[in-house]
Amino acid sequence: MVNFSCAKSIEIPSEQIGLNNYNSFDGGNRIFKRSILKKGKYEWEFPIVYFVDHKFKDHKIDKVLKYIEKSTCLAFIKTNCPPKAQLEYKYSTELCCSPIGRFKSYLTGRSDIYLKESCSKDFGLILHETLHALGLSHEHQRVDRDRYIEVFEKNFNSFGMKEIGEKDNQDKFKTFSIRYDYSSIMHYATTSCSRSFYRTMQAKNIEPFNKMMGQHYALSFNDIKLLNSYYCHQDCKPERSIKCKNGGYHSINSTCFRCICPKNFDGNDCKHVKITHYKFCKKTEQKAQYQVWKHISEEGFKNCHYLITAEKDYRVHLKIKSVRTQEKLLCAPNLGLEIKYLDDKGVTGLCLCGIYSGIDIISE
């Protein structure tokens, strides 16, 4: 059950802001950016011709590249002749890794992604390493990461400093106005690179965000947006295009008069929430009122979504009274309840998989 109202301002004691049941964000108008490697010595030539080591018997790598193709303008062609390839997936007994961006091997001239047997069977891990090859850095190593996570260097193993502790060099990465996303497939889990399963990082926000870090189910909307912003940018002049709302964006996969929208948003400019067709869902769009509490409750297996708005200069105040969804080790959209409370609806919302109560959320 969710209760909601609205208020001009809501005071939260300073000792409660941070890792607890209150959300925390910067109330200013600053835009925080993520990064992708700037154009380097070697750039990918499209379509990217790739070769897969014959030791990999299944077709999971091919499926990963098809998935990227479906979401972006990028294209890949498989070859059985290694000298023709730009990219090679190589079998390794020790490593699952990739350089960031295209890197030509001194011996072969190809860029190599190394995968152990276990990694080669994990769709999300293959996707993660492939995005490194396409230029994406780790989400938790962004320059602005200290606003969103706390890092515990004392709990690092020998890989911790390089894989988590070090931040990106902003001189080497191109920036886009895309916000931090705990559910990015480029984000490590809270105990990654730990010497004894202690947390090496945690969210500076509502506690359940920690269960979103490290998901390997799929690309987040902002992962796709970053790839498209770099490789598939549509140069739309303001006077000859519509302005995208709610985190939507233009891409060469679309036109300057239609935006690519976050999940559950629709319309040429992403202004509208998609209508819920499930007959048991309640009214899709609801208005919060000052000092008036309303509630929404749903039971059973449903796919319902709601847009709760407030008057200008007011914020929506949500009180999560109780949630009981299927328990998951890591939570992601479509697995439980997702709450998007930031202005940018492209950022993955708070995802709740399991039993929760007493969570307060104030919209941006």
Say yes or no: 89 and 66 in one domain: yes
Tell me the C-alpha distance between 189 and 331, whole Å: 11
- Comparison of pLDDT for 3 and 151, the residue scoring more: 151
Determine phi and psi for 323, rounding to 5 degrees.
-135, 130
Q: How many Cα atoms within 13 Å fall on the side-chain side of residue 356?
A: 27
Q: Is 300 a member of any domain?
A: no
Say yes or no: 175 and 108 in one domain: no
Interhelix angle 221-231/60-71, rounded to 10 degrees, is: 70
Q: What is the CATH number of the domain that holds 98?
A: 3.40.390.10
At residue 142, does pLDDT exceed 60? yes
Q: Is 357 a member of any domain?
A: no
- Spell out the residues 6+ positions from residue 146 whose beta carbon is closer than 8 angstroms to its own: none
Domain count, the chain: 2
Say yes or no: 115 and 154 in one domain: no
Nearest-CA neighbor of 284 among 259, 257, 266, 311?
266
Provide the annotated active-site residues. 129
Over the stretch 346-361, which tens digit does the pLDDT of each residue have?
A: 999 999 999 999 999 9
Over the stretch 329-344, which tens digit does the pLDDT of each residue have?
A: 999 999 999 999 999 9
Q: Is 309 a member of any domain?
A: no
- Comparison of pLDDT for 33 and 213, the residue scoring more: 213
Say yes or no: 182 and 145 in one domain: yes
At residue 22, does pLDDT exceed 60? no
CA distances in angstroms from 193 to 151, 171, 207, listed in the order given: 12, 26, 20
Q: How many Cα atoms within 13 Å fall on the side-chain side of residue 357?
A: 3
Tell me the C-alpha distance between 178 and 171, whole Å: 17
Are 246 and 270 contacting, i.e. CB atoms less than 8 angstroms apart? Answer: yes
DSSP string, 220-278: -HHHHHHHHHHHSB----GGGSPPP-TT-B-BTTSBTTB-B--TTEESTTS-EEPPP--
Are 83 and 107 contacting, i.e. CB atoms less than 8 angstroms apart? Answer: no
- To the question of whether residue 272 is assigned a binding role by annotation, the answer is no
Over the stretch 198-240, which tens digit does the pLDDT of each residue have?
A: 999 999 999 999 999 999 999 999 999 999 999 998 889 988 8
Q: Is 99 a member of any domain?
A: yes
Tell me the C-alpha distance between 85 and 49, whole Å: 5
Q: Is 62 a member of any domain?
A: yes
Question: Cis before residue 99, ω within 30 degrees of 0?
Answer: no
Say yes or no: 100 and 160 in one domain: no
| Average pLDDT of the residues in 68-81 | 97
At residue 10, does pLDDT exceed 50? no
- To the question of whether residue 132 is assigned a binding role by annotation, the answer is yes
- To the question of whether residue 138 is assigned a binding role by annotation, the answer is yes
Nearest-CA neighbor of 127 among 253, 222, 217?
217
| Average pLDDT of the residues in 311-329 | 94
DSSP string, 296-323: E---SS-----EEE--TT-EEEEEE--E
Nearest-CA neighbor of 37 among 112, 138, 125?
138
| Average pLDDT of the residues in 75-96 | 96
Q: Is 345 a member of any domain?
A: no
Q: Which residue has the tokens 């390839």?
A: 85
Q: How many CB atoms lie within 10 A of CB 252?
A: 13
Are 240 and 261 contacting, i.e. CB atoms less than 8 angstroms apart? Answer: no
Say yes or no: 53 and 126 in one domain: yes
For 164, the 3-state DSSP assignment is helix
Ramachandran class of 130: left when φ > 0, alpha when ψ lies in -120 to 50, beta otherwise? alpha
Say yes or no: 179 and 148 in one domain: yes
Q: Give the β-pairing of 265-266 and 48-52.
A: unpaired
Tabulate helix, strand, coil % of the chain (nearest 5). Answer: 20, 25, 60
**Would you call 303 exposed, middle or buried from its count of C-beta atoms within 10 A (0-12, 13-18, 19+)?**
exposed
The domain boundary, picked from 172, 201, 225, lies at 225
Say yes or no: 59 and 122 in one domain: yes
The domain boundary, picked from 89, 114, 133, lies at 133
Say yes or no: 176 and 221 in one domain: yes
What percent of the chain shows pLDDT beyond 70?
89
Say yes or no: 153 and 187 in one domain: yes
- Spell out the residues 6+ positions from residue 171 whose beta carbon is closer than 8 angstroms to its own: none
At residue 7, does pLDDT exceed 70? no
Tell me the C-alpha distance between 115 and 271, whole Å: 42
What percent of the chain shows pLDDT beyond 90?
67
Over the stretch 87-120, which tens digit does the pLDDT of each residue have?
A: 999 999 998 999 999 988 877 889 999 999 999 9
At residue 193, does pLDDT exceed 50? yes
Does this model's pTM top 0.85? My answer is yes
Say yes or no: 115 and 152 in one domain: no
Q: Is 187 a member of any domain?
A: yes
For 50, the 3-state DSSP assignment is strand
The parent domain of residue 182 ranges over 140-225
Look at residue 33 in the predicted model and tell me its pLDDT.
44
Sign (positive or negative) of CA dihedral 343, 245, 348, 281: positive
Say yes or no: 85 and 144 in one domain: no
Cα angle: 38, vertex 42, 47; to 5 degrees? 100
The domain boundary, picked from 133, 152, 186, lies at 133
Q: Is 59 a member of any domain?
A: yes
